[in-house]
Amino acid sequence: MAEKDFREKRLEDFDDVFADIINVLVFNGDQKVDASDLETGMLRSGYKVEEKFEEQERDSKKYWKSGHIRIAVFGLENQTGVDSDFIFRGFGYDGAEYRDQVRRRNEVRRKNAAAVKEAAVSGKKFVLEPLPDFYPVVTLVLYFGDTHWKGSLHLKDHLKIPDGLEEYVSDYEAHLFEIAFLSDEQVKLFKSDFRFVAEYFVASRKRREGLTTEFNITVDHLRHVEEFIELMNALTSSDRFSALPKLIKERGGDSMMTILFDEAEARGEARGEARGEARGEARGAIRGAIQAYNEMGLTPLDIVSKIVNVFSLKREDAEASVKDILKIQSL
């Protein structure tokens, strides 16, 4: 899991990619954040629970600066599946950032107090260091699922609040972006390699819905090829992107999307047929199909629907097969 997390972070940690994501998703394509104005921040923060020190780690974080002054801090968090606990993690990340700002101001106060004390003894002149301003913390959640997010993005909706306390409990809202459901116009606003990440997830979703896509990119458009491949392998839980440069070279002018989808379907069909023939029973074909659909990026629920339709199974039987083959506890 640690290796997958690391692979997910490398592309987004490039300043040009990070700034691009912020400019498109926060500022609707206006180029307000320049890559040169970003400074990478510490991803880990600590907190104490019952005398035990714990750590939490963001996916990616950068300070937006004007000269030497911090004017905001942005955090990016990746989600490939629905996880209601993420809103509590996000609240913790943001709280740690504000706590750190308080710490920095207290450090300045201590330095100023020491300077005043020294001046009283020595008679030397001194200049008080101004307290740094508080600046906003903005966390964006990038959701790469191929179905809409299910569940509330408000902290209060996840709490069991006793009667009479509702108005006294502060809320926290997560800012989540469904990458597969961005519009074509939004995708075209991206100027970095993240455009191709967004194109892939939008195109995958459109194919499942029977829609066409006009995206037509090649690996030559990428600036960070290795990191792009690592991110896509991590987000799709596969390794098929590793062969992308070779496949593009072999297929000539075909677009990256065409190659990826053709290759995934070919592998899926071959695997389903091979397993079915080897076992001489329908279960072999079902297993192959489930694994193929999983490689294509379908969610477990979408796979269940596919299996029900293709093999005329009862839904409960299809759900049991998907759980068994994908080694998951729930859909």
**Residue 213 falls within a domain, yes or no?**
no
Query: What integer pLDDT is reported at residue 46 of this predicted model?
Result: 42
**Residue 217 falls within a domain, yes or no?**
no
- Same domain, yes or no, for 26 and 94? yes
- Same domain, yes or no, for 302 and 181? no
Domain end marker among 202, 229, 246: 202
Which residues make Cβ contacts (< 8 Å) with residue 266, sequence separation at least 6? none
**Residue 308 falls within a domain, yes or no?**
yes
What average pLDDT does the structure give for the chain? 82
Distance CA 29, CA 195 (A): 12
Give how many domains the chain has, as a whole number: 2
- Same domain, yes or no, for 182 and 52? yes
Q: What is the pLDDT of residues 293-320, one digit of tens each?
A: 888 778 888 888 888 877 778 888 889 8
Domain end marker among 202, 229, 263: 202
- Listed as ranges, residues in the chain with pLDDT below 50 are 1-4, 44-50, 53-54, 266, 268-280
Which range of residues forms the domain containing residue 243?
A: 238-331
- Same domain, yes or no, for 180 and 245? no
Query: What integer pLDDT is reported at residue 275 of this predicted model?
Result: 46
Domain end marker among 174, 202, 230: 202
Query: What integer pLDDT is reported at residue 234 of this predicted model?
Result: 87
**Residue 208 falls within a domain, yes or no?**
no
**Residue 71 falls within a domain, yes or no?**
yes
Query: What integer pLDDT is reported at residue 108 of this predicted model?
Result: 96
Strands (DSSP E) contained in 80-195 are 137-143, 175-178
**Residue 207 falls within a domain, yes or no?**
no
Distance CA 276, CA 288 (A): 8
Q: What is the pTM of this model?
A: 0.72
Tell me how many degrees the CA angle 49-53-59 measures, rounded to the nearest 5: 100
Distance CA 85, CA 158 (A): 9
Determine phi and psi for 317, rounding to 5 degrees.
Answer: -70, -40
**Residue 289 falls within a domain, yes or no?**
yes
Query: What integer pLDDT is reported at residue 278 of this predicted model?
Result: 45
- Same domain, yes or no, for 124 and 265? no
- Same domain, yes or no, for 182 and 260? no
- Same domain, yes or no, for 73 and 121? yes
- Same domain, yes or no, for 52 and 122? yes
- Same domain, yes or no, for 196 and 72? yes
- Same domain, yes or no, for 193 and 324? no
One-letter amino acid at 112 equals N
User: Could you give the C-alpha distances from 14 to 32, 57, 133, 328, in angstroms and in order?
Assistant: 17, 18, 27, 33
**Residue 263 falls within a domain, yes or no?**
yes
- Same domain, yes or no, for 89 and 135? yes
What is the DSSP annotation of 97-130? HHHHHHHHHHHHHHHHHHHHHHHHHH-----PPP
Distance CA 304, CA 317 (A): 9
- Same domain, yes or no, for 20 and 70? yes
Q: What is the pLDDT of residues 76-110, one digit of tens each?
A: 999 988 888 889 999 999 999 999 999 999 999 99
Distance CA 212, CA 207 (A): 7
